[in-house]
Amino acid sequence: MWNPYDRLRTSDTLQEIRRGYFGERGITVHTPTEAECTEEGCGHDEFTDSKRKIDCASCNERGYVVVWTTQTIYCRARWTNTIEYRVQIGPGVKIGDLMLHIRASDYETVKAVEDDPKAYMLLDGFRIRPTAIQPAGVGGTTDEYRVECVKVKGN
């Protein structure tokens, strides 16, 4: 049966979700983009898969200049605590260190990080990488995705 307080509880829940998305907690997404070297006589040599001029200081070892793009997305984030699990976790089973709930508009940004091995995300001083992205909606229509992430070694 409907209770008049249900509307207030639903309103509180929606406000909590909005605070989670639009609060001050954002994840910084770092993705590299390679551009052709602009120095005279240098650039990428397809035959050797390296740069043409060995002494070129403006590009990397493949003859490209790497430009990092940074973008901030706002989402709900929850660090995973393995003590919370009630069943024993078998050896070799990897559990994500972080669970994110992102908006559908940020799906392509996070998918780009998952696809590029050099890209990463930064949250609370830790580098993280997504390992799985799944729709979190009901019935195939979703406005939210669930992302499992792991910490990158070297943090």
* Percent with pLDDT over 90 in the chain: 19
State the average pLDDT over residues 80-103: 65
**Has residue 150 got a pLDDT over 80?**
yes
**Has residue 90 got a pLDDT over 70?**
no
**Has residue 95 got a pLDDT over 70?**
no
How far apart, in whole angstroms, are the C-alpha atoms of residue 20 and residue 77? Answer: 8
State the average pLDDT over residues 27-50: 87
Tell me the chain's radius of gyration from C-alpha atoms.
21
Which residue do the tokens 């005279």 mark?
40
Which of 51, 57, 64, 55 is closest to 118 using CA atoms?
64
Domain borders along the chain are: 24-30+70-151
Tell me what pLDDT residue 96 has: 62
Among 14-23, 74-83, 125-134, where is mean pLDDT lowest? 14-23
Which residue do the tokens 């830790």 mark?
126
Question: Given pLDDT bands bounded at 50, 70 and 90, which one contains residue 20?
Answer: low
State the average pLDDT over residues 81-93: 56
State the average pLDDT over residues 41-56: 84
